[in-house]
Amino acid sequence: MPDKEIFTRIFNHPQPVRGIARYLIRKLDIGSSKFQYRIGAIRRPNYAYLVFQAAQLAHRLGHERVSVIEFGVAKGAGLLMLERHADWVEKVFPVKIEIYGFDTGEGLPHPKDYRDLPYHWKPGFFRMDQDALRAKLKRSTLVLGNVADTIKTFFSGHDAGPVGAVSHDLDFYSSTMEGLKLFDADDQRLLPRIFCYFDDSLGGDVELYGDHVGERLAIHDFNASHSDRKISPAYYLQAFGFQDWHYQTWILHNFRHIDYGRFVSEENPQLSI
């Protein structure tokens, strides 16, 4: 994002001084990654949040490893950022972070119907340069092919830790619905609450994402077809001020998961007088 656009957004923010301070800390790379994360100044804070929260919950539940998944890799910038965040988060929690990236490798397919927003997406968008990306990746595993097929064999073909976070960036309603089938896996394959980022749930005045198309419709239809697991906005993030990713972050609650009711909070939450 150009610096001019960044500063325009910062000055339109309800707390512009704080926004400028965060921008400078991020730009000048001041402090540790954990410090930058805590004050909201880290690069790609949405991905940092996914990795940090997945590792924290996995640790509190006694897991030694956790999987973070990206649906929609494209050129690979997001996957590389997940790797960067995993490096420092593993120093905070004694949890091994495994990263998997799902993609066709060939760019977007043809939209199936209006729900896939053909007025905004074209076949071939976001084609991957596989050789160039593989040369940059250090710890991620690419899962290439149609997600409708690869999702079926993912757990049988990979010794993956329980899934704790997912970035959904498949753009289409139809593809997102296929990706959401990941959440139908058995309890041992998933954490009881999974941190999710839906990239195409906000958009702008061209995309006009709504409740009856794209990712938002996929979330609605997933919830309508499941009584024991639901995807809900992370409302507490929205109370922290206007940052786009706060409104693009959702939580999968798996109510019947064997560990859903397992206590992970503070032992003594009572405030002193």
For 31-83, the pLDDT digits (tens) are 666 776 766 667 889 999 999 999 999 999 999 999 999 999 999 999 999 99
Q: In Å, how far are 181, 191, 200 from 126, measured between CA atoms? A: 23, 30, 14
- The model's confidence at residue 21, banded by pLDDT at 50, 70 and 90, is low
- For CA atoms 142, 171, 229, 85, the dihedral sign is positive
For 130-143, the pLDDT digits (tens) are 999 999 999 999 99
Cα–Cα distance measured from residue 176 to residue 126, given in angstroms and rounded to the nearest whole number: 16
Instruction: State if pTM tops 0.85.
Output: yes
Residues of the chain with CATH 3.40.50.150: 43-254
CATH architecture classification, 43-254: 3-Layer(aba) Sandwich (3.40)
E-assigned strands of 73-228?
Answer: 96-103, 140-144, 163-168, 190-198
